[in-house]
Amino acid sequence: MRYSVKDPVLVRADNAPGRARKILQWQDTIYATIRPSLKRVAFITKDYDDQIASTAFCVVRPDKKMAFPLYVYLFLLSDFVNRKIVELQHGASYPAVTDKDVLNQTILLPPLSEQQKIAAILFKIQQAIEVQESIIERMQELKKATMQHVFAYGLRGEKTKETEIGRVPESWEVGALETLCILKKETCAPNECQSKVYIGLEHIESGRFFLKRHGSPTEVQSAKHQFAPNDILYGKLRPYLDKAVVVNNYGICSTDILVLTPVKDVPAVFIVGLLHLQKFLDYAIKTTGGLNHPRTSWASLKDFVVPLPTVNDQLEIAHILKTLEEKIDLREAKKFVLQDLFKTMLNKLMTGEIRVRDLEVDVAEVASAGCSSFQRDCG
């Protein structure tokens, strides 16, 4: 939940597009007038002082004698204001509002000192969110590094041997992916399926090992693949998206998803770890066909050569990867709680439901109104 200007473009004035006409100043707020429901709002930091914005943004410049700049930004970010603006949009395929629609919104203005306190409180919450995001990013990097290491060198520091896929521990073998899992081909019509779970590619997060959400069979009509607990779902459409997860229930899924069942006692998490390796991603991408909707297939993937550790090593590797995933899940849960808190406090503070005028709040960090934490992506 970081609100920032993203990927600005440096151009000569004589080459600038006709819509690049609005001059920005430090402490302005810009509000995207096209599809306002997307809530693309950004606070202009010193980095973007005296730069040019598209006419697709309404530039809001506060009277600093009456309004604290960050408070104005937060006001435009709040749900109750955005709902009012969205109600004014016109156009079916290209919904938009005018600058006047944005500038005509009535803003509640507590004393300047209270406006600063409101911004400071929300800034503290945003800082806590960013701490969690930083931890999650580092843990994701740790997970990737761990995967690369354990699948190449094992867990026990034993000597390695040269194989067709590079060096692996001496006690390991190598073989085709199909020696670890097989393709399940069972299908079911949604209206005939007893399951209440439907999985589309949109429900699978890139690079993750387990599902976090799902849809309902009532959302789809055509025949779908069936899956069972401990199966693996692998997204064959656009494999560069890196979508492969273990499931823990029964359900149906999109036909753009391969359903793989582990062979014998092979841990499903171990297999998913292999499917997330960069070597496998590169291989899967090379096997795709179709320009607009590139897909790979089990016929192509099943022959990919993978390391085959001992059963005990497979179990230990699976345990390590599962533990790392669970720690990432824990941090993400904390981040979501903080994001909910930010949203709740934002709307309560902006409507005056909660007043902070008499609270002792340190406003030093926001007093200069140069906080990069308070921005929303405006690509």
- What whole-number distance in Å separates Cα of residue 221 and Cα of residue 374? 43
CB 215 within 8 A of CB 239: no
Please state, in angstroms and as integers, the Cα–Cα distance from residue 230 to each residue in 122, 361, 364, following that order.
Answer: 42, 51, 52
Closest C-alpha to 186, from 220, 216, 227: 227
DSSP type of residue 217: G
* Cβ atoms of residues 198 and 211 within 8 Å: no
- The SS3 call for residue 277 is coil
DSSP class of 345:
H
The H or E element containing residue 166 is strand 166-169
List 169's β-bridge partners, or say none: 160
CB 246 within 8 A of CB 232: yes
Domain ranges in the chain? 173-308
Q: What is the pLDDT along the chain (379 residues), one digit of tens a residue?
A: 345 566 666 666 566 666 667 899 999 999 999 999 999 999 998 989 998 888 999 999 999 999 999 999 999 999 989 999 999 999 988 899 999 999 999 999 999 999 999 999 999 999 999 999 999 999 999 999 999 999 999 998 999 999 999 999 999 999 999 999 999 999 988 888 878 899 999 999 999 999 999 999 988 989 999 999 999 999 999 999 999 999 999 999 999 999 999 998 999 999 999 999 999 999 999 999 998 999 999 999 999 999 999 999 999 999 999 999 999 999 999 999 999 999 999 999 999 999 999 999 999 888 765 555 555 444 4
Q: Can you count the helices (H) and strands (E) in the chain?
A: 9, 17
Q: Which token pair is 152?
A: 């190449």
What whole-number distance in Å separates Cα of residue 62 and Cα of residue 112? 12
Strands of 57-60's sheet in order across: 41-43, 29-32, 57-60
CA 57 to chain centre: 25
Reduced to 3 states (helix: H, G, I; strand: E, B; else coil), residue 262 is: strand
Residue 180 burial class via C-beta count within 10 angstroms: exposed 0-12, middle 13-18, buried 19 and up: buried
Return all residues near 241 (Cβ < 8 A) that are at least 6 apart.
201, 206, 235
For the chain, where are the alpha helices, taking DSSP H only? 69-77, 79-86, 99-103, 112-153, 268-275, 278-286, 298-301, 311-350, 364-367
Say which residue the tokens 């919450």 belong to.
125
Rg (CA), the chain: 26
Report yes or no: 302 and 241 within 8 Å, Cβ to Cβ.
Answer: no
Instruction: Report in angstroms the alpha-carbon separations of 160 from 65, 157, 163, 167, 169.
Output: 71, 9, 9, 6, 4
Res 232: pLDDT: 98
Instruction: Find tokens 């000597």 and name the residue.
Output: 159
The CATH superfamily label for domain 173-308 reads DNA methylase specificity domains (3.90.220.20)
Query: What is the predicted pLDDT for the residue at 182?
Result: 97
pTM of the model: 0.83
Q: Cβ of 21: how many Cβ atoms within 10 Å?
A: 11
What DSSP character marks residue 56? T
Q: What's the confidence (pLDDT) of residue 365?
A: 85
SS3 142: helix
* pLDDT given for residue 93 in this prediction: 87
